[in-house]
Amino acid sequence: MPTLKSTADEIEYFVDGFGPPLVLVHGTGGNADANWGHLVPKLSEGRRVIRPNYSGSGATQDDGAPLTLEKLAEQIVAIADETESRTFDLVGFSLGAAVATCIAAHYPARVRRLILLAGFASSQDPRLNLQFGLWRNLIANDRRAAAELIILTGFSPGWISKQPHAELREIVDQIVTGNRWEGMLRQVELDLNLNAREYATRIKCPTLAIGCTHDHMIAPVHSRELTRLISGATYAELPREDVQNTVGDADLTTYVSPSEINETKPANSTFRSA
């Protein structure tokens, strides 16, 4: 578990495998392991998979100032520099998709290809803003209720209904005790004020936006907006109803196997596995 000390920040990151670099950026309340760990064994076959924890997640430490997309983007690029990844493919999930959008706009020569999974360009949408505001209030005042909301909106109804009551209570307990709540709160504050639309219009690299049909947190309409904003971008959708992820994430769509992601290909063969 290496770390990079960059200015006032100490950024935790993980590297697995050998080959062309693939940088994975986690979402709100998630981290490099919770959002991506289960995908690494397959993705690292023929790839060097790089997973940073930006501010608010994992063991990464900073000065505690309000977060910005630009700050998080700089942290990710600093890790790319540290791992000698001059150019790389980039995947961003949820808030990580907005961070990846910022990176692709600011560092066009660095990003070879871009995938935005369950992303959003702006939180100005009333429903999305209401959701982030609820997260903020529950984190500040009732973390057990926040954990319950994460389960209700992050896991499919079918999956929740199959779980014994005792197991659901145990999952809630794990989220309450294991989540880095103060860091998540900072990330939610960024969510509430996020607008990456202008950055999206500047992206030139081949881009795939993936929406998730049954996502109760980030509806597919937001991925379709990113597709419209990014010149030449392609849209695909994951239709599975039983998508779920490991406990502790703020947005749980990443619990799909690498083969399923590989099968979710646009017509543009640019995105076929390297």
Superfamily of domain 3-271: Alpha/Beta hydrolase fold, catalytic domain (3.40.50.1820)
Tens-digit pLDDT profile for residues 84-141:
999 999 999 999 999 999 999 999 999 999 999 999 999 999 999 999 999 999 999 9
pLDDT the model gives residue 214: 84
Which residue has tokens 């145990």? Answer: 170
Tens-digit pLDDT profile for residues 150-179:
999 988 888 899 999 999 999 999 999 999
Long-range contacts of 231-234 (CB under 8 A, 24+ apart): 231/201, 231/203, 231/204, 232/206, 232/207, 233/203, 233/207, 233/208, 233/209, 234/207, 234/208, 234/209, 234/266, 234/267, 234/268, 234/271
Tens-digit pLDDT profile for residues 209-265:
999 988 889 999 999 999 999 999 999 998 744 443 433 333 344 444 444 444 443
Domain ranges across the chain: 3-271
Residue 268 has pLDDT above 50, yes or no: no
pLDDT the model gives residue 1: 57
pLDDT the model gives residue 14: 97
Tens-digit pLDDT profile for residues 47-67:
999 999 999 999 999 999 999
Tens-digit pLDDT profile for residues 25-41:
999 999 999 999 999 99
Tell me the helix, strand and coil percentages in the chain, rounded to 5: 45, 20, 40
Using alpha carbons, list the distances in angstroms from residue 13 to 10, 17, 166, 180, 268: 10, 14, 34, 17, 31
The mean per-residue pLDDT over the stretch 67-96 comes to 97
